[in-house]
Amino acid sequence: MSLEAVSRAEITPAEARRLFRDGLVTPTAGWSAGYAQANLIIVPKAQAFDILLFAQRNPKSCPILGVLDAGETSGPLLAGGDIRTDLPRYTVYVDGEKVADPTDITEYWRDDLVTFIVGCSFTFEAALQEGGIRIAHIDQGTNVPMYRTSVRCEPAGEISGPLVVSMRPVPASQIPDAVRITARYPAVHGAPVHIGNPEELGISDLSRPDFGDPVEIPEGYVPVFWACGVTPQAAVMESKPSLAIGHAPGHMLITDARDSSYLV
């Protein structure tokens, strides 16, 4: 099954979730234009306080858009949907090790699992493009490059880990606009955390991202780094709760919330 770009952009979130539920597997970039896509992190209730506190202490990387109570599989961000089936692909961690990347997590589901829906920078990419800023990974048809950094997040209880950042190359003259535009979306990572000098973040080679795909950085462009919603998954890998489930990189939850609802 395939869909033209125009169809992907125009499909409603509910229709997109239904297609994924019915078995379609695809990255979600470009789908359901104008609607917020989101990162996912699901943990047992025993770890839920630490994850929520970790998010509260690291709001730039872990902006919480919604939380489903223990055992709940739907909520207002995915009306009529099912969090166990409505993403195209998931990542399952047991004791911090990735053990599977299924397209459905029904077999892993337990009544004590709490779902955190976390903002995603896809939301401000449309605003950047409207502001005349090209997005390299969209132009190149790849997933945004993401890097584990040497910057530590504020820990919370048993959860700790590094800040993960996404990177977009921006022409030097447009960096002020990129900062200004994204700062207006604090619920989806907001302003960049670092501009230029990847070494200071402990990133030695931009061409080898830890998640996603590398992008070419044209002459005169500067790498600009935003906090990334994969940060909770990096924390899970380090902190090793008995079970955790995230989205697969680039395979996001498409929510019913409008991108514009996160504009301040």
Can you list the alpha helix ranges (DSSP code H) found in 199-245?
Answer: 231-239
Write the DSSP string, 163-178: EEEEEEEEEGGGHHHH
CB of 88 to a copy of itself, least distance (A): 27
Structure tokens given for 91? 């990542």
Helices 45-57 and 231-239: crossing angle, nearest 10°? 130
User: ∠ at Cα 215 (209, 216), nearest 5°?
Assistant: 130
CB of 31 to a copy of itself, least distance (A): 27
Q: Is 64 in the site for a copy of itself (CB under 8 A)?
A: yes
Structure tokens given for 28? 């979600």
Cα separation of 129 and 181, whole Å? 10
How many residues touch a copy of itself (CB under 8 A)? 13
- Residue 7's contacts (CB-CB under 8 Å, 6 or more residues apart) are none
Site for a copy of itself in 113-142 (CB under 8 A): none
DSSP state for residue 196 in the 8-state scheme = S
Position among 23, 34, 80, 157 found at the interface with a copy of itself (CB under 8 A): 157
CB of 217 to a copy of itself, least distance (A): 31
CB of 92 to a copy of itself, least distance (A): 23
Nearer to a copy of itself, 30 or 44 (CB): 44
Q: Is 56 in the site for a copy of itself (CB under 8 A)?
A: yes
Nearer to a copy of itself, 56 or 260 (CB): 56
Position among 52, 163, 188, 201 found at the interface with a copy of itself (CB under 8 A): 52
Cα separation of 95 and 174, whole Å? 43
From the list 45-53, 80-88, 101-109, 241-249, the region that binds a copy of itself by CB under 8 A is: 45-53
- In 3-state terms, the chain is what percent helix, strand and coil (to 5)? 30, 25, 45
Q: Is 152 in the site for a copy of itself (CB under 8 A)?
A: no
The residues of the shown chain that bind a copy of itself, judged by CB under 8 A, are: 45, 48-49, 52-53, 56-57, 64, 67, 69, 156-157, 264
